[in-house]
Amino acid sequence: MDIELDSVIVRFGGEIGIKGEWTRRRCQQLLLRNLMSTLGQRKLVPKAITQKRGRIYLRTTKAKTTALELTKVFGISSVSPARQTSSDLKAITETTLEIAQTQVDNEKGFAIRCRRVGKHPYSSMDVCKELGKKILERLKNRNLRVDLVNPDIIISAEVRDKQAYIYTERLQGPGGFPLGSQAKVVVLLSGGIDSPVASWLVMKRGCPITPIYVDNTPFTDERTTDRALETAKKLFEWAKGFPRKTYIIRNGQNIQRIKEKAPKRFGCLLCKRLMYRIAERIAEREGAEGVVTGEAIGEQASQTMHNLRVLDDAATKFPIHRPLLGFNKTEIEKLARKIGTFEISTRRAKGCMAAPLKPATKAKLEMVKEAEEKIGITEMVEKAITTSETLDLS
């Protein structure tokens, strides 16, 4: 039977660790708040919390589930389910032996690692030597060997002041900064592969998101809408405790108008410029600081470096952020899998039927603006805003 793990080590050194005192404290507070919302929602509230520099130690009867849940909290670099004991070397040895009994199989190579902060009558090296020696002695009949280069298992002791934590597992967190440590942004979320990944990347750096989905029905269908809302829900799994407000913009009539009244090759550019304008209005209403899209250089005709400038011209009040600008498709897909949106984004759905066969890759800005005058862009934005709907995706 496994030894009962009673603690979780939460690490958040990295970039947070090198910030000035004030920023570091604020990040830690936010991290703790987000961690508690995450665990609270899963009914995993810890029994006790100890905060130290670069670490939060949790006491819990559900160490493994708690640790797993925390791998989705931004700012956390890694977590380890652990067994707590006192920093007395004898206690550390006993606990480590108990763990080794259940975790180290016959004939295996093992390594001991120790990390120590505080005043103790021994060094980290002393701990490693003592633990290695005792394991070999006590588990003699298992034919174990110390292997520091390519061990089958690593047993780690983290000694922090009067406590010590013994563990064998380290789960990777997303790193970055706690959600809420940066200003909110709105994201143009289509539900395709790219825009959810772009959203996640800004969340990772601390920005809470408000998604905007532009519903192009009848040029797309309800599967396209479901897909977008499902990706938004998936993103919100990384944002426990934050609002889940999502905007839906009814855009079918606008597209119809663009199709009827504007040069075909400008169709996508006009549609995107319209989306930017709508997004700016919502950003203003929501008190957000920017608009995020999933565009990457050259990924579509509307995303040539030239056309990105044509698009940018439509945004007058907010920066358009494109976290994927330099990403290859395979890199984006890899991230989408990790986030959990890939499977949703690749479900069958109707692609936009209004997209022209020969879109402009180098549109003349003046001509695009003329076309906008003709279709009555200002009215279209107004109508889109007044008919917009919001959903709470809880």
Count, residues near Mg ion per rule CB under 5 A: 2
Give min distance, CB of 347 to ligand ATP, in A.
13
190 interface partner picked from Mg ion, ligand ATP, none, CB below 5 to 8 A per type:
ligand ATP
Alpha-carbon gap, residue 332 to 284, rounded angstroms: 29
What are the backbone angles phi and psi of residue 341, rounded to the nearest 5°? Answer: -100, -15
Residues 183-222 that bind Mg ion (CB under 5 A): 194
| Nearest to ligand ATP of 97, 185 (CB atom) | 185
Using alpha carbons only, what angle is made at residue 374 by residues 368 and 378, rounded to the nearest 5 degrees?
90
195 counts as binding ligand ATP under rule CB under 6 A: yes
**By Cβ distance, which residue is nearest to Mg ion?**
194
Tokens 């700016």 correspond to what residue? 280
Pairing, β 145-146 against β 109-117: parallel
SS3 217: coil
302 interface partner picked from ligand ATP, Mg ion, none, CB below 5 to 8 A per type:
ligand ATP
What distance separates the 2 farthest-apart alpha carbons in the chain? Answer: 86
| Nearest to ligand ATP of 53, 306 (CB atom) | 306
- Residue 350 contacts by C-beta under 8 Å, 6 or more apart in sequence? 219, 220, 221, 223, 224
294 counts as binding ligand ATP under rule CB under 6 A: yes
Give min distance, CB of 349 to ligand ATP, in A.
10
Alpha-carbon gap, residue 349 to 290, rounded angstroms: 29
Give min distance, CB of 64 to ligand ATP, in A.
35
SS3 128: helix
Only segment of 45-53, 152-160, 192-200, 385-393 that touches ligand ATP (CB under 6 A): 192-200
Site string for ligand ATP, 132-171 (x = CB under 6 A): ----------------------------------------
Token digits for 23?
A: 């920023």
Concatenating the DSSP letter of every residue in 64-97 gives: HHHHHHHTTSTT--EEEEEEEEES-HHHHHHHHH
DSSP for residue 177:
-
**By Cβ distance, which residue is nearest to ligand ATP?**
192
Only segment of 66-74, 107-115, 155-163, 193-201 that touches ligand ATP (CB under 6 A): 193-201
Altogether, the residues listed in the chain come to a count of 394
DSSP for residue 319:
P
Give min distance, CB of 153 to ligand ATP, in A.
42
Residues 32-61 that bind ligand ATP (CB under 6 A): none
Chain Cα centroid distance, residue 379: 37
Nearest CA to 199 out of 334, 118, 292, 112 is that of: 292
| Nearest to ligand ATP of 156, 254 (CB atom) | 254
Give min distance, CB of 183 to ligand ATP, in A.
19
299 counts as binding ligand ATP under rule CB under 6 A: yes
Out of 75, 173, 192, 208, point to the residue binding ligand ATP (CB under 6 A).
192
230 counts as binding ligand ATP under rule CB under 6 A: no
Out of 60, 231, 246, 302, point to the residue binding ligand ATP (CB under 6 A).
302
229 interface partner picked from Mg ion, ligand ATP, none, CB below 5 to 8 A per type:
none
190 counts as binding ligand ATP under rule CB under 6 A: yes
CA distances from 100 to 20, 84, 111, 276 (A): 40, 15, 11, 58
| Nearest to ligand ATP of 303, 388 (CB atom) | 303
Pairing, β 153-160 against β 163-167: antiparallel
How many C-beta neighbours within 10 Å does residue 79 have?
28
In the chain the first and final C-alpha atoms are separated, in Å, by 39
Give min distance, CB of 209 to Mg ion, in A.
17
Q: What is the CB-side half-sphere exposure of residue 73 using CA atoms within 13 A? A: 28
93 interface partner picked from ligand ATP, Mg ion, none, CB below 5 to 8 A per type:
none
Nearest CA to 370 out of 298, 297, 286, 273 is that of: 273
Give min distance, CB of 18 to Mg ion, in A.
34
| Nearest to Mg ion of 69, 194 (CB atom) | 194
Site residues, ligand ATP (CB under 6 A): 188-190, 192-195, 212-214, 216, 272, 275, 293-295, 299-300, 302-303
Site residues, Mg ion (CB under 5 A): 194, 299
